[in-house]
Amino acid sequence: MDSKKKIPVNTVTRDIKNLAAPTGNIYESVVILYKRANQIAVAEKKELMKKLDEFRGDRDTMEEVFENKEQIEISKYYERQPKPDLVAISEFENGELFYRKAQNENPIDNTNGE
């Protein structure tokens, strides 16, 4: 995630017509946003877990876990980041997302054959 972007950290009211405009269908737009937000969340979780695993030791006691200030700072940094859904919406609105419709290889023929 690029931290240079101006992404709001709070919820912003948006016009549903503007979200539906790129796809022509609000439901398709919502699915695209959901999938992108999920990608971002999974990537952030992997990154966070990788950083926190560096602090994990074989003999950590409860006092060591609670007193590790570096670990707490890393966790707080990720808590302050914009939520994945807000990042996805920002990318969508700025035309930064690539998406395509899946093509059905065997289209259903609804004609009667006449």
Give the pLDDT of residue 45.
93
* Within-domain flag for 7: no
Give the pLDDT of residue 114.
47
* Within-domain flag for 51: yes
Number of domains in the chain: 1
* Within-domain flag for 101: no
Show the domain range for 43. Answer: 17-93
Give the pLDDT of residue 68.
73
The single residue listed with the structure tokens 């290889």 is 105
Q: What backbone phi and psi angles, to 5 degrees, belong to 45?
A: -65, -45
* pLDDT by position in tens, the chain (length 114): 444 467 877 777 888 999 999 899 999 999 999 999 999 999 999 998 888 887 776 555 555 555 677 888 888 898 888 899 999 999 998 889 888 877 766 655 555 554
In angstroms, the CA 28 to CA 20 distance is 8
* Within-domain flag for 54: yes
Give the pLDDT of residue 84.
92
* Within-domain flag for 109: no
pTM over 0.75: no
Quick one: CA dihedral 21, 22, 25, 27, positive or negative?
Answer: negative
CB atoms within 10 A of CB 56: 10
